[in-house]
């Protein structure tokens, strides 16, 4: 004979499982929304920074074409190297391991070129080089 008290005996367990299941489903939805927001923001930031460097490179290349003698071989080589790094950046593969490395290499090259050109231009979007990424608050 079926225990008619079965369900009431395991009431706590049942409620727990229901609640857990509800919460889990809810969490999946919210988590995905949040992740999309973060992804959007991080993607935007990376894109903005890359775009900034692309823009600088375009302007520099134009200036070189106008008057090549004003830019030393070393500077021209550095700009070329920076250009290669921008091309190499895996825009459609954010999970690639090289994104962090490439972005840091780009920032370094940019600083070296600006220092030599005597430019005080700074890109304001990213954390300062000396800053620990863990210290960055979102």
Partner 1 sequence: MELYEGGCELKLLETLEGHSDRVWSLAWNPVTAAAGTPLVFASCSGDKTVRIWENTPSHSASWTCKAVLEDTHTRTVRSCAWSPSGKLLATASFDATTAIWENVGGDYECVSTLEGHENEVKSVSWNASGTLLATCGRDKSVWIWELQPGNEFECVSVLQGHTQDVKMVQWHPSTDVLFSCSYDNTIKVWAGDDDDWQCVQTLGEPNSGHSSTVWALSFNASGDKMVTCSDDLTLKIWETDNIQMHSGDGYAPWRHLCTLTGYHDRSIFSVHWSSEGIIASGAADDAIRFFVENRDGLVDGPTYKLLLKKEKAHDMDINSIQWSSGEKRLLASASDDGTIKIWELASL
Interface residues with partner 1 (CB under 8 A) are: 72, 74-75, 77, 104, 108, 111-116, 118, 120, 128-130
Least Cα distance to 126 among 118, 110, 117 occurs for: 110
Least Cα distance to 99 among 123, 130, 138, 133 occurs for: 133
CB of 13 to partner 1, least distance (A): 51
CB of 47 to partner 1, least distance (A): 24
CB of 97 to partner 1, least distance (A): 18
75 or 102: whose CB is closer to partner 1? 75
61 or 114: whose CB is closer to partner 1? 114
Least Cα distance to 112 among 87, 81, 66 occurs for: 81
**What is the rounded CA–CA span in Å between residue 70 and residue 59?**
14
């Amino acid at each position: 004979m079926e225990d008619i008290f079965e369900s009431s005996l395991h009431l706590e367990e049942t409620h727990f499982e229901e609640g857990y299941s509800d919460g889990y489903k809810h969490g999946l939805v919210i988590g995905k929304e949040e992740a999309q927001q973060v992804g959007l923001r991080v993607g935007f930031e990376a894109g903005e920074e890359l775009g900034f460097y692309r823009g600088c490179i375009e302007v520099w290349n134009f200036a070189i074409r106008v008057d090549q003698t004003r830019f030393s071989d070393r500077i021209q080589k550095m700009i070329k190297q920076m250009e290669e790094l921008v091309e190499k950046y895996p825009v459609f593969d954010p999970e690639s391991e090289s994104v962090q490395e490439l972005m840091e290499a780009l920032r370094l090259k940019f600083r070296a070129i600006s220092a030599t050109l005597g430019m005080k231009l700074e890109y304001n979007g990213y954390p300062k080089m000396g800053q620990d990424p863990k210290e960055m608050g979102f």
